Amino acid sequence: MKLLMPLVLSAALLGGCASMYASASPAKTADGVLVGPNQMTLYTFDRDVAGSGKSVCNGPCATNWPPFMAGASDKASGDYSIITRDDGGKQWAFKGKPLYYWAKDSKPGDKTGDGFNNVWRVVKP
């Protein structure tokens, strides 16, 4: 029994760590706004309808505003959901609004897309 106890404890700890990693948020907060894993600012588009499961930014729009894409094994959690884009790709959404980068932000901390055409907004958690 004494030999079995450390093994059981180790398995429980590793399982707990794995579940913490699996539920990790796809975005983090930096300087009061959401940023992707690359530390670049994330934006929402006013013309996207929250909770619709769709993005209206496709084609040339998505060239300028690249979607924050979700991986095949990513799972929705908390305020984060995953929508299916017109091209079949999966995109992260926050509180039902699809998330995007701005192609003209050149370094972490840039927020040059905020207020662009009065329809693009940084995401404040």
Digit-coded pLDDT (tens) for 66-109:
999 999 999 999 999 999 999 999 999 999 999 999 999 999 99
pLDDT confidence band for 23 (50 / 70 / 90)? low
Q: What is the mean pLDDT of the chain?
A: 87
The pLDDT of residue 16 is above 70: no
Average pLDDT (54-65) is 98
The pLDDT of residue 19 is above 80: no
The pLDDT of residue 14 is above 50: no
pLDDT confidence band for 44 (50 / 70 / 90)? very high
Higher pLDDT, 32 or 8: 32
| The model's pTM | 0.81
Please state, in angstroms and as integers, the Cα–Cα distance from residue 125 to each residue in 22, 43, 67, 106, 122, following that order. 21, 11, 18, 22, 10
User: How many Å apart are CA 51 and CA 29, to the nearest integer?
Assistant: 22
